[in-house]
Structures are given as structure tokens and as C-alpha cells.
Amino acid sequence: MIEHKSLYVDGQWVPTDSTDSVEVIEAATEESIGWAPLGNRRDIGRAVESARHALDDGPWGRMGATERASLLLGFADELEARADDTATLVSRENGMPITLSRVANGSAPAATLRMYANLVADAEIEDVRASQRGSTIVRREPVGVVGAITPWNSPQTLAVMKIAPALAMGCTVVLKPSPETSLDAFVFGEAASAAGIPGGVLNIVPGDRDAGAALVSHPSVDKIAFTGSTVAGRAIGAECGRLIRPCTLELGGKSASIVLDDADLDVFVAGLPDSSFRNNGQICALQSRILAPRSRYDEIVDAVADHARNLVIGNPLDPTVTCGPMVSAVHRSRVLAHIDGARSGGAVLVTGGGRPADQERGWFVEPTVFAGVSNSDPIAREEVFGPVIVVIPYDGDDDAVRIANDSNYGLGGSVWTQDETRGLEIARRVRTGSFGINYYTLDPGAPFGGMKDSGLGRELGPEALEAYTEYKSIYASDHWLHKQ
Ligand code: NAD
């Protein structure tokens, strides 16, 4: 049992002001893993003020990028030293298969920190440009105190996608993780403390949506970085608009895989674990709509259904398991309700459709494939966030692109073809933030994010540093500058 009683604020483990706590339950066994406090509005306030102080008055705000980068490399080493335990803990919390968790929650956070530390280590923060009256110094300054709010589905990756570029740019951060995955968030505090990251630079306050809302509207916060549902993102974006506060919103998706008529189905099926079934379907950019040419429709439905039937359902800590449980009983009910809705709406259930008979405990859902679905059906439009796939027929490449784009979302997608030039043409026409040709695997070196209801702004890649940067132009004289 893991029992946390304090929050990580100002570099210290401090008692919470709240009496609320959350019991984190293991998704595969329904047994308790431990407890974490749920911070309230006052806890959020203390954490924000500590982040403010560290930025305005502490060493962090005055530190050069090289020194900051060196501290972040130490932070990465400390995370890496804890990687195996962190990966296991997250798999128990949210059901992520351990082979994936070892990367997503084990090695990726340290790698992401190193990437941003190296990007800023030697970067110039000022450049000088000739102007009509003299010279202008263009400065890149940290945007300030960042409120980072994260979901449960890949908690370490999604948190570090905010923490790493923010700290590298010289910002300070208050992280509010999801209650379901509160326990692993404490690892960031332990690692930051061991690496000597100054107090207040990174603060961690687990809490519910009220704590999140308190962070969004706190007057001393300068920017919000949010990953989660479109419903919550819309509310957060509205509040940030009212406050004229920049925000990055990484939201939901209902992406499409377009299988072209010349596709090699072996390649397509080999790609399905990453493109459509990753993390038991609990990944935002997964392609839960598969668009199949009418001439090969039955063949493709059979191939997807066979793949779904062959997934190994079980405890995610078993490395042979390829489909773990849903994060919670509540989420399983939501996924099952989507399945029931599709069945009663007339979709043809090809495989799955319920709870696996051989799993007595745990919040499992059978990998499920529907055929006979139209793109206007709710099951083709709403995000399910579980192992539920619909196969939709199309007639010709233009029709496939039209259907792919006929979605409120615009996050991921892929095309499967033996002609990469044709695939690239399709990739250019689909309105999503990322798109794969014959595979779909996120590239941390390139920007990631959504169009339309899938969000605002980009994370990852060098581009993510922009979201944590304010520009300042200082108009100076040539005479003075030449003397420097
Ligand atoms: P959620 O929106 O319910 O919660 C996400 C986080 O926001 C949690 O920490 C929650 O406590 C907090 N929160 C909820 N409402 C809030 C509000 N009004 N104000 C402030 N904070 C609030 O989402 P979830 O169920 O935890 O996660 C699943 C969703 O996340 C899916 O829709 C998925 O597509 C999305 N997601 C998107 C990406 C991406 O990069 N685009 C990545 C992962 C997950």
C-alpha cells in the first residue's frame, strides 16, 4: 500500500488543507493500491504562490539556460532511476500493458526532459535586429507560472510534455494530476527534490476538477496547459478567454485509418496495435474509425475482427498481455454504454461487445468491432476511449478523405497503401494534427496536437517551447549597443 498524506509544494512535502483523499484502485484486480490527498482551492493557492515566488524572487527566475538545463538533466536521471517502479505503478493504476508503460511512463519522461534541456542549453535568448531608429533587442522570456492539468491515460508522458518545455524555458509549474493516477505523480516530486530542483519550481497537487478549475482561474497563473476531454477543455478555454490567459488544449479524438484499395493487409494488421488498439483503446489519437474501400470491405472487417479476437486480455503486468482493463468501473460503464447504443442503433457486432467471460475481476471490456456503420452514426462520431472500432465503407479516395474529415475532431489518422506517393497526397488532405503513412507512432521530436474540437496549440518538438515563451522587444540605440 502506498499512502501519501502530503503535497509537494515549495520543494517540501506539506500537509494538505483538505480532508479529502482518493483511494486509488488497481484496474485489473479492483484492489486498493493506496491513498493520495485531494488538494483543495487553498492548496492550489499555496502551490501557485510558491511557483510565483520561485519565478519572481527565487534563483530559478535569474538562472541562465545552461544551468537550468544541467538541473533538468539531473532531474531526468532521477526519473530514469525510478522508471521501472513508475511504469509498474501506472499499469496498476490505469491498466496500461506493461510493455507500453515501460516506454510511455518509464523511459519517455526522462528522454523528453533531456530533449528540452539540450534544446535550450546553448540557445540565445536575445537577438538584435536593425530598426529604423537604431536596434531592437528581441528577448524570449518565460511565459511565467504554468498550471498543468493532466488526465489518467498516460499520466507521466502527458505531464512531462508540459513540465519539460515549461521548465526548460524558465517557467515554474503547478501540476494537477487526475485523481485516478494521483500516486505516480508524486514520483515527479521525489525526483525533482533528489535532483536539487529549487523549491517552488515544480509543485504537485492532486485534486478533482474543482481543484483544476481553481488552478485555471488563479490570478497568479500565467498559462494553462491542459490535456483531457473536449468538454473540460471547452470550459477551461472559455475561462482562459475571459482572463486573456494563454492556454494549450490537448483534447479528444475520433481519428480515421484509411485503408486504400492497394493496401497490404499484413502491413495494416501489423500496425493495428499502435494505430487503433494501443493502451486498450485509451489513447486520444487512436484511429477508432477504419475506412475500407467497398471492394475490400468484408476482407478488411474480417482482418480487424481477427486481430481483435487475438488480443491477449489480462493483467497488464503480464508482458504477454496486449489488452488490459479500463481505468475504472465508471469508465467501463461509459464504454459499455457506447457499445449498447451502437447495437441498438443497428450496427453489426462482428466481435466483442461486452465483458470478457474469463476475467472475474477488473474493469475489462472485450475488444469490439462493428461493421455496417455509417459515419453519421453516434458510434462513428463520439469518442469512446476504449477498444471499440467501427469499419465504414467508402467509394474512391475523395470519398475516403471526405469521411475522414467529416468529424468534429482532428487529432490523428493514417493511410495504408503500397504507393507512398498516393498515401502522402491523402495525408496532406486530412485535417488532423498528425497522420501516419503505413504506421502511426507519435514522434516526440515533432509537434503534436489537434485541429477543430481536438484542441488548440501543439506540444512536443522544439515548437512546444513557443507555448512557454513571451517575446519582448526592447528598442535601443546603435550607439549604446556597439559599446557592449
Ligand atoms: P477529463 O477532461 O475528465 O479530465 C482531465 C483532467 O482535467 C483531470 O485532471 C480532471 O480532474 C481535470 N478537469 C476536469 N474538468 C475540469 C475543469 N472543468 N476545470 C479544470 N480541470 C478539470 O479527461 P479524462 O477522462 O481524465 O481523460 C480522457 C480524455 O483525455 C479523453 O477525451 C482523451 O481523448 C483526452 N486526451 C487527449 C490527449 C491529447 O493529447 N489530445 C491525450 C490524452 C487524453
Cβ contact 281:254 at 8 Å:
no
pLDDT score at 346: 97
- Closest ligand 1 atom to residue 459 Cα is 40
Distance CA 100, CA 341 (A): 30
Work out whether strand 172-176 and strand 202-204 pair parallel, antiparallel, or are unpaired. parallel
Please confirm, yes or no, whether 250 is among the known catalytic residues. yes
Three-state SS at 251: coil
User: From the CB of residue 275, how many other CB atoms can be counted at a distance below 10 Å?
Assistant: 26
| CA gyration radius, the chain | 23
Distance CA 440, CA 443 (A): 9
148 secondary structure, DSSP code: E
Name the residue of 93, 96, 153 to mutate for ligand 1: max ligand atoms within 8 A of Cβ. Answer: 153
Cβ contact 173:476 at 8 Å:
no
Spatial strand order in the sheet of 469-476? 126-130, 135-142, 469-476
Three-state SS at 125: coil
- The tally of CA atoms less than 13 A away on the side-chain side of residue 427 is 18
pLDDT score at 318: 98
Cell 527565487 sits on residue: 58
> Per the residue annotation, which of 78, 80, 250, 366 is the catalytic one?
250
SS3 content of the chain, % helix, strand, coil (to 5): 45, 20, 35
* Smallest CA separation from ligand 1 atom 37, residue: 251
User: From the CB of residue 374, how many other CB atoms can be counted at a distance below 10 Å?
Assistant: 14
Name the residue of 284, 332, 442 to mutate for ligand 1: max ligand atoms within 8 A of Cβ. Answer: 284
Residue 205's H or E segment, with its range, is: none
Cell 499555496 sits on residue: 46
Distance CA 405, CA 402 (A): 5
- Closest ligand 1 atom to residue 448 Cα is 40
pLDDT score at 411: 98
Three-state SS at 260: coil
DSSP secondary structure letters along 356-421: -TT--SS-----EEEES--TTSHHHHS---SSEEEEEEESSHHHHHHHHH-SSEES-EEEE-S-HH
User: From the CB of residue 50, how many other CB atoms can be counted at a distance below 10 Å?
Assistant: 25
Cα of 362 vs centre of ligand 1, distance in Å, is 22
Residue 36's H or E segment, with its range, is: strand 32-37
Cβ contact 363:325 at 8 Å:
yes
* Smallest CA separation from ligand 1 atom 21, residue: 212
Is the pTM for the entire model greater than 0.95? yes
Distance CA 354, CA 215 (A): 38
- Closest ligand 1 atom to residue 216 Cα is 20
Cα of 228 vs centre of ligand 1, distance in Å, is 2
Which cell goes with 15?
500537509
Which cell goes with 48?
501557485
**Which residue segments constitute the domains of the chain, with CATH numbers given?**
2-251+454-474 (3.40.605.10), 256-437 (3.40.309.10)
User: From the CB of residue 189, how many other CB atoms can be counted at a distance below 10 Å?
Assistant: 22
Distance CA 16, CA 29 (A): 29
DSSP secondary structure letters along 72-96: HHHHHHHHHHTHHHHHHHHHHHH--
pLDDT score at 478: 80
Cβ contact 362:29 at 8 Å:
yes
Q: Is 3 exposed, middle or buried (0-12, 13-18, 19+ CB in 10 A)?
A: exposed
Q: How far is CA 354 from CA 44, 261, 278, 343, 389, in A?
A: 40, 32, 19, 11, 13
Q: Can you list the residues of the chain whose pLDDT is less than 70?
A: 483
Cα of 366 vs centre of ligand 1, distance in Å, is 24
> Per the residue annotation, which of 171, 240, 247, 284 is the catalytic one?
284
Cβ contact 448:459 at 8 Å:
yes
Please confirm, yes or no, whether 126 is among the known catalytic residues. no
Cα of 202 vs centre of ligand 1, distance in Å, is 21
Cα of 251 vs centre of ligand 1, distance in Å, is 7
Q: How far is CA 384 from CA 150, 253, 435, in A?
A: 19, 9, 20
Sign of the torsion angle spanned by Cα atoms 54, 148, 465, 144: negative
Which residues are bridge partners to 459 per DSSP?
448
Distance CA 305, CA 389 (A): 9
Maximum Cα–Cα distance across the chain? 80
Cα of 151 vs centre of ligand 1, distance in Å, is 5
The model's pLDDT over 206-257, given as tens digits with 9 standing for 90+, comes to 999 999 999 999 999 999 999 999 999 999 999 999 999 999 999 999 999 9
Cβ contact 293:260 at 8 Å:
yes
Name the residue of 227, 382, 460 to mutate for ligand 1: max ligand atoms within 8 A of Cβ. Answer: 227
- Closest ligand 1 atom to residue 253 Cα is 34
Look up residue 133 and give its amino acid: R
Q: Which residues line ligand 1 (CB under 6 A)?
A: 149-153, 158, 176, 178, 208-209, 212-213, 216, 227-229, 232, 235-236, 250-253, 284, 383, 385, 411, 450, 454-455
Cα of 331 vs centre of ligand 1, distance in Å, is 13
Distance CA 464, CA 250 (A): 12
Intra-chain end-to-end CA distance of the chain, in Å:
60
